[in-house]
Amino acid sequence: MSNTSRPKLLDNAQFDASMAKLRDWEEVEGEDAIRKMFKFRNFDAAFDFMTRVAKHAQKLDHHPTWINEFNRVDIVLTTHDLKGISDLDVQLAHLIDEEAATTTK
């Protein structure tokens, strides 16, 4: 099932307020995107985390750009069709943080 409502681009005030509520996410320099790096105890824990995040991404029909290198997962979020950060990026970032908190590190 996908998200049927169109994402809304965040204005500067909304972006700042959202970033204040997201722990350790940072702006990507030169891009309209946010990034966070997660580190786990091993590859299996990192892959388990990615699998759970993928389920949220499918439900939202909003997919991260990510790189997995052994026990590390680097995630970048942006809304490509809006060319910026949307409410979907913030929603997915919160879900990603929840999944990371439940993964054994």
> Which domains are present in the chain?
26-101 (3.30.1360.20)
H or E stretch including 20? Answer: helix 12-21
Going by pLDDT thresholds of 50, 70 and 90, the confidence category of residue 5 is: confident
Distance between CA 58 and CA 76 in Å, rounded? 16
Going by pLDDT thresholds of 50, 70 and 90, the confidence category of residue 3 is: very low
pLDDT tens track for 9-57: 999 999 999 999 999 999 999 999 999 999 999 999 999 999 999 999 9
Note the pTM of the prediction, 2 decimals: 0.91
End-to-end CA distance of the chain: give it in Å, rounded.
30
Strand 72-77 versus strand 34-39 pairing type: antiparallel
- Token pair listed for 35: 């990034």
Going by pLDDT thresholds of 50, 70 and 90, the confidence category of residue 103 is: confident
Question: What angle do the packed helices 43-60 and 87-101 form, to 10 degrees?
Answer: 150
